[in-house]
Amino acid sequence: MDFESLRRDFPTMRTDSGVYLDSSCQSLRPDSVIAAITEYYEKYPVCGGRSVHHLANEVSIRVDETREKLCSFFDGEAPGDFVFTKNTTEAVNTVAGGFPLSKGDVVVTTDSEHNSNYVPWLNLRDSIGIGIRRSESGKDGVFDIESFKSQIDRSVKLVSVTQCSNVTGCTVPIREVAEIAHDHGAKILVDGSQAAPHIKVDMKAADIDYYALSLHKMLGPSGMGVLYGKQEELERLRPRLYGGGMVGLVTYDSVNFAPVPDRFEAGLQNYSGIFGTKAAVEYLEKVGMENIMRHDAELLSYMHELTSDIKGLRLVGPDDPSKRCSIMSFNIDGLGAHDVAMMLDSIDGIMVRSGMHCAHPFFVARETEGSVRASVYIYNNKNDIERFATALRKISEQFGA
């Protein structure tokens, strides 16, 4: 795969001379995704699933085609198992708010979750009295399967874990975790927002009950997410939003809900985002997830090679770049993370993320105020890494402790 030629597909790469290393926050979009979004507004700017004129019918067809593409790409059981949401956060909350949990039931997470996979459970702890347990990783954030096993018993009803940490890049063996959860009668929800853009995900092989992801991290539109669920597991969820589009028939006294997935898609949908979602998945499919995994690994290894001897650089996460899934989080002795990020941008237009990355408990537990996070994707190349390393070395030498 000629990744260098792919850079020309991204208008930001053609118009901005900086180095974008913030894809774990939000990816750039290729021309084909932008064209798909524009196509909706220019040719079919109407509702799907309601009117029966030819424009509305075309939108309905495109919605169905997008579900079919998602099902094929992620190897799901059926297109109807893919629910459109705004983002991963809404998808996780759809499960948290709809899953039949009662006082005394336990949810197990890890110590490396995004806030979106902590706050819903804390809310349920405070509102209905569920229990929360978490597996503990080492200081470097590597998932500990034995710690996870120690938290599982028959009181656990749901396991909710990230597949890939947005701080350390460490991955969780979700197939093994799912097997352990199922052996104890629990279901599993996976936050795949950081994994899905970079790792081949096979829903059937991993035996996942629920999987949440965001398209804005995988070349797609902002405001688009997906909740995948096995048919029988989606059926057991209570809807969280009520209104048009998610009902069969409503009378003054009763309501019949529409079948899955419609019952979770109340109100007008983000049709332009659905058009763009299909284009994004088609683009990734064309590039090939195995190629993307290999490209990410090569760039992370090169980044490690060029920065490992920088004075005062402290990694947040494992030393081994092969365990970091497109992410290098770090700090420079004597400097705050935001200061480093701003200096990188000022020196050579190097764009990174800084702060706690919406994973506050991870940093609070380690008494760390945050980190700088550089993340790579398909449009990055070795020259980007060289510019990043050069600017970072300059910052360390001139301003570090």
Q: What gap in Å lies between CA 145 and CA 263, rounded to an integer?
A: 36
Helix (H) or strand (E) holding 249: strand 247-250
User: Long-range contact list for 57-66, CB < 8 A, 24+ apart?
Assistant: 59/271, 62/271, 62/274, 62/275, 62/278, 63/269, 63/271, 63/274, 65/278, 66/274, 66/275, 66/277, 66/278, 66/281
Reading the chain (401 residues) residue by residue, the pLDDT tens digits are 899 999 999 999 999 999 999 999 999 999 999 999 999 999 999 999 999 999 999 999 999 999 999 999 999 999 999 999 999 999 999 999 999 999 999 999 999 999 999 999 999 999 999 999 999 998 889 999 999 999 999 999 999 999 999 999 999 999 999 999 999 999 999 999 999 999 999 999 999 999 999 999 999 999 999 999 999 999 999 999 999 999 999 999 999 999 999 999 999 999 999 999 999 999 999 999 999 999 999 999 999 999 999 999 999 999 999 999 999 999 999 999 999 999 999 999 999 999 999 999 999 999 999 999 999 999 999 999 999 999 999 999 999 87
Q: What gap in Å lies between CA 94 and CA 99, rounded to an integer?
A: 8
List residues bridging with 106 in a β-sheet. Answer: 131, 156
Helix (H) or strand (E) holding 212: strand 210-214
Query: What is the secondary structure of 293-333 as a DSSP string?
Result: HHHHHHHHHHHHHHHTTSTTEEEES-S-GGGSTTEEEEEET
Spatial contact of 305 and 320, defined as CB atoms under 8 Å apart: no
Q: What gap in Å lies between CA 159 and CA 107, rounded to an integer?
A: 6
Domains defined along the chain, listed by start: 32-286 (3.40.640.10), 288-399 (3.90.1150.10)
**C-alpha to C-alpha distances, 349 to 6, 124, 356, nearest whole angstrom:** 21, 43, 22
Query: Parallel, antiparallel, or unpaired for β 106-110 and 131-135?
Result: parallel
Q: What gap in Å lies between CA 165 and CA 394, rounded to an integer?
A: 29
3-state SS assignment for residue 14: helix
Residues with Cβ within 8 Å of 76's Cβ and at least 6 positions away in sequence, in order, are: 70, 82, 203, 204, 228
User: What local confidence, expressed as pLDDT, does residue 218 receive?
Assistant: 98
User: What local confidence, expressed as pLDDT, does residue 279 receive?
Assistant: 98
Read off φ and ψ for residue 108, nearest 5 degrees. -110, 130
* 337-348 and 382-399 helices, crossing angle to 10°: 120
Question: Which residue reads 């995988």 in tokens?
Answer: 218
Q: What gap in Å lies between CA 371 and CA 244, rounded to an integer?
A: 44
Neighbours of 71 (CB within 10 A): 18
List pLDDT tens digits, range 88-98: 999 999 999 99
Question: Both ends of the chain: CA-CA distance in Å?
Answer: 42
Spatial contact of 181 and 207, defined as CB atoms under 8 Å apart: no
**C-alpha to C-alpha distances, 111 to 136, 152, 345, nearest whole angstrom:** 6, 15, 31
List residues bridging with 212 in a β-sheet. Answer: 191, 227
Which parts of 65-177 are beta strand (E)? 82-85, 106-110, 131-135, 156-162
Spatial contact of 221 and 29, defined as CB atoms under 8 Å apart: yes
Residues designated catalytic? 358
User: What local confidence, expressed as pLDDT, does residue 400 receive?
Assistant: 84
